[in-house]
Amino acid sequence: MASAREKEKGRAAPLRVATAPLHELSRDELSVFLYVALLPEETRALVKELGLTVPGFRTEALGDVERCDVIADEILLHPASAELVLGALAKAFESPPLPRLSMEPAEWEELLRLCGSDSALAAALWRALSDRDAKVRQAAAPVLDDLARHYYGPPEGGAEGGAGEGEEPPPEEAADLERSLERAEARLRESEARAAERAGEARRKAEEQREKLQSALREARAGESRAAEEAARAREDASEARRESARLRSELEAIRASDASVEAQRLRSEARDLGGRVHALEARLERVLRRGEELEAELSRSRAGEDAKAQPPIPEPAGEGAEGEPGESEATFLLPVYTREFYDSLDGWDRRIQRAAFKQAHLLALDHRHPSLRALPLEGLPGYYRVRVATDVRLIYRRAERQNTVEVLSLIDREDLDRYIRQAKTRG
């Protein structure tokens, strides 16, 4: 009873080719199914019948795999196109095998893996001959007879295994067996041709892949060589740049050291010159002061002698002389006061002019009416006078409010007199 129920469970309604939902497969799954199920001329006919094209390629030049990919894309995009493919499968296989057999998914997976092996027929016969049901074991006998006739030829005496001695099979059974054998042989030839074509395609692809790998390897080696050369050049350039940078840095340091040395030497020289100038001016000032004291003492003695004699002085005509300051009737000693402006104005003049300026200042202190001074008042500046030092050089001075002193103001070029007068007015 259990065996009968199992048999009933394993039976189902017969399947039809048109019921296969090919669009449920993925692109790769559908493409490889078409590749193993259909012959190259069948896929070419399907591509032509479906009117499929590939931009940039001729459909006649497409390989088997590319044609299967194009058909799979068309089915996934338009599921109705699967009818032509199912028709080609029905024409090739008539109907799906085992149409009334119902098995679990795991059993189907095992069966499909078995069919994909090289020993699928032997394993299937082994399974049938090992079955517990005698009828299943007997079902393997016709297949074994067909194989025996195919590989070993008809039995001796014209008798066939499975029939009585000297007895021939019925005509209908013989015709069925002949048709089965022809279909098996046709399928075998197709399988062999397909295997040979696939092997050739695989060899061609392997050769193309090998050529691509070799080309890529050559390019990689060439790129590696170029990279090594560029890296070597970059290292040489970097080394040269470092050497050049070190050289420029040393030259810059040397230039800076040289400039600093020259500047320090110049500053020391200027400092020595200024020190000597200051000492000379201080010595001259000291001599002038001593001379002024001597002249004041002599003047005091002279005045004391004149007072003792009680002789009135001889008056001189009032007014401004041709030379000298207005309102002065006699030459008196004046104490020179050298201003900061005077010392600043000495810069830029050579020592000959500087000595002449001090000489004229000293003579101005002794006798401001001396003819060589050519003392003249400055127009627009009351109390300011100028004396001649050289042809184009003038010394500016003025009488101080303190008695018997004269302020030596500036040593200027004669052309700068107008500018000096404007600046003095502004300061005043």
Q: Alpha-carbon dihedral of residues 130, 133, 134, 136, nearest 10 degrees?
A: -70
Quote the pLDDT of residue 319.
36
Quick check: is 115 in a domain?
A: no
Chain centroid to Cα 131, Å, comes to 75
Scanning the structure block, which residue is given the tokens 């002279």?
302
- The residues that bridge with 387 in the sheet, in sequence order, are 395
The residue from 48, 74, 94 where one domain ends is 94
Rounded Cα distance, 38 and 150, in Å: 25
- 376 φ/ψ angles, rounded to the nearest 5 degrees: -135, 145
Quick check: is 68 in a domain?
A: yes
Structural domains counted in the chain: 2
Quick check: is 292 in a domain?
A: no
Beta-sheet strand order (sheet of 335-338): 335-338, 405-413, 393-399, 384-390, 376-377
Quick check: is 274 in a domain?
A: no
Quick check: is 54 in a domain?
A: yes
Quote the pLDDT of residue 352.
92
Q: Which of 92, 96, 116 is nearest to 39 (CA)?
A: 92
Determine the length of the chain.
428
Supply the pTM of this predicted model: 0.34
How do the residues of the chain divide into helix, strand and coil, expressed in percent and rounded to 5? 65, 10, 25
Rounded Cα distance, 323 and 44, in Å: 134
Q: What is the CA radius of gyration of the chain?
A: 67
Alpha helices (runs of H) in 116-170, residue ranges in sequence order: 120-129, 134-152
Please, what are the averages of pLDDT over each run of 10 residues along the chain (428 residues)? 50 57 85 86 89 82 87 90 85 73 75 71 73 78 79 59 50 69 77 79 81 82 85 88 89 83 81 78 77 75 62 41 44 78 89 90 84 84 89 88 79 90 82
CA distances from 140 to 119, 132, 133, 147 (A): 16, 13, 12, 11
Quick check: is 50 in a domain?
A: yes
Quick check: is 423 in a domain?
A: yes
What's the CATH code of the domain at 336?
3.30.2310.20
CA distances from 59 to 46, 50, 154, 204 (A): 11, 12, 47, 19
- 20 φ/ψ angles, rounded to the nearest 5 degrees: -70, 115
Quick check: is 82 in a domain?
A: yes
Quote the pLDDT of residue 121.
74
Residues spanned by the domain of 346: 332-427
Scanning the structure block, which residue is given the tokens 């075998």?
188
User: CB 201: neighbour CB atoms within 10 A?
Assistant: 15
The residue from 70, 94, 118 where one domain ends is 94
Q: Alpha-carbon dihedral of residues 143, 144, 146, 150, nearest 10 degrees?
A: 140
Under a CB-based contact definition with an 8 Å cutoff, are residues 336 and 406 in contact?
yes
DSSP type of residue 165 = T
The residue from 61, 94, 127 where one domain ends is 94
**Helix or strand run (H / E) with residue 422:** helix 417-427
Quote the pLDDT of residue 11.
54
